[in-house]
Structure 1
Amino acid sequence: MRKLFLAIRIPNDPITETMVKEIQRNFKFMDARWVEPQYLHMTLKFFGPLNEKRIRKIIELLSIYFKTQEGFEMNICKLAMFGSRGAPKVLWLGIEQEQELKDLAMGIQSELDKLGLYADRQNFVPHISMARVEKTNSNSFFQKQMKKFKEISLSPINVNSIVLLESIISNKGVEYKLVEEFELK
């Protein structure tokens, strides 16, 4: 069984890397597990453990579906968090084209329903996870740092493909292996 998910890769270019390092520098006071810049992505659908037969069916179905979908641009626009103000759990980057991404995720889910792979959660929030927060030493300082990144402006990201990735956990941490890349029209 392989743990797979469908995602949009975030380019590991110098501008993105600089922004990631700047955020990490500003939040170094907290205990967190940071996502390496080369692994930044936005998950559209998490599948969990799948056997090879199921994987082939997913690839076959999505290959047809994505040929009908247009490429698009998306913009990173803010730093936000999941959890409460007093106990943040995840730091993440928000996307300006939130509704378009929700529509894309719903379209993908509609296709996957045909295979009996139903939605695992109701509320899809388009985001790029940056860090899993274990503990923050100063809540007021954390909130002050969050305000610094309330608005982020980077070059638009051209999304020309969607990737099916395998999550591999090793003693080095989590790695993502490309299983399939679906080109958009």
Structure 2
Amino acid sequence: MERLFVGLEIPPLIREELMRLQQCAPSSSRLSTPDQWHLTLVFIGQAELYTARQALSSVNHFAPKITLTKPGYFGAGRRLSYWVGIEPTPELLSLHHTLRTALQNAGLQSDDRSFVPHITLARSRGSATTAERERFMHQRVRAERSFYPADFCLFSSETHSAGPIYRVEGRYQLD
């Protein structure tokens, strides 16, 4: 059993913008590294790798346009995650639904939380001031920060003290 999720890799042009936005995260935050950046489409959790690969191999879907929107954060107190949002277009929501259905049909349960598309840039290590959080939230995403992914990936995740390590376990073409 491995800790698994389905997501999209982030292309270099988008990474440049994420690096710029990340520099505005509160100073008490631990910044994620570019190799950790991804857009989670479906979190699976502990599951058999073979079963997940088989379920995803049957998915046939077109590539949705992925567009950065604005910064935000989840959590409260000392445990905050700072992120940049992704526009929840009907096409992206359709891909999310298609993937969840394929995984559920294979007997794999996915996370029940509502889908809030985002890319995590930092996690808090301490208390950020209201001013620091507001400064981050008011950053503007530069225009034309969109892409069409060529594929989606099945990732495994290992937790380490320096942060998670993600490995691509399968790659599946989008039309």
TM superposition score normalised by structure 2? 0.85
Shift of residue 88, structure 1, vs aligned partner: 6.9
Structure-1 residue corresponding to 2:56: 62
SS of the equivalent of 1:101 reads: helix
CA offset digits 1:48-103 (Å, max 9, x no partner) = 222xxx322221221121xx21123211121111135x777111111124433222
How do 1:65-144 and structure 2 match up within 5 A? 65=59, 68-83=60-75, 89-144=80-135
Measured after TM superposition, the shift of residue 120 of structure 1 is 2.2
* Alpha-carbon separation, structure 2, partners of 1:167 and 1:107: 22
Q: Name the structure 2 match of 1:18.
A: 16
- 1:44 Cα shift? 1.2
Q: Does the CA contact (< 8 Å) of 1:72 and 1:160 recur in 2?
A: no
- Matching of residue 165 in structure 1 with residue 167 in structure 2: no
Paired with 1:119 and 1:48, the residues of 2 have a C-alpha distance of 7
The change in CA–CA distance for 1:73 and 1:82 in structure 2 (over 3 A counts) is same
Instruction: Structure 1 unaligned segments of length 5 or more: list them.
Output: none
> Among 29, 33, 52, which residue is 2:30 paired with?
33
Shift of the alpha carbon at 1:164? 0.6
Cα distance, 1:25–1:113 mapped onto 2, change above 3 Å: closer
RMSD, aligned α-carbons = 2.3
Native 8 Å contact 1:109 1:119 kept in 2? yes
- Higher alpha-carbon Rg: 1
Q: How many pairs does the alignment contain?
A: 175
Specify every segment of 5 or more residues in structure 2 that has no aligned partner in the other structure, as ranges. none
Question: After superposition, what is the alpha-carbon deviation per residue over 1:143-162, rounded to whole angstroms, capped at 9, x for unaligned?
Answer: 1342133x443432121100
Q: From the superposition, tell whether residues 167 and 140 of structure 1 become closer, same or farther in structure 2 (CA, over 3 Å).
A: same
2:58 is paired with a residue whose SS is: helix
Percent of aligned positions with the same letter in both sequences?
A: 25
Over residues 21-68 of structure 1, what are the superposed CA-to-partner deviations in whole Å (9 max), with x where a residue is unaligned? Answer: 3223323x4311221113210111122222xxx322221221121xx2
Paired position in structure 2 for 1:6: 6
| TM-score normalized with structure 1 length | 0.81
Aligned AA (1:25) = Q
For residues 174 and 141 of structure 1, the distance between their equivalents in structure 2, rounded to whole angstroms, comes to 25
2:8 partner amino acid? I
* Secondary structure of residue in 2 paired with 1:153: coil
Inter-CA distance 62–25: structure 2 relative to 1 (3 Å threshold): closer
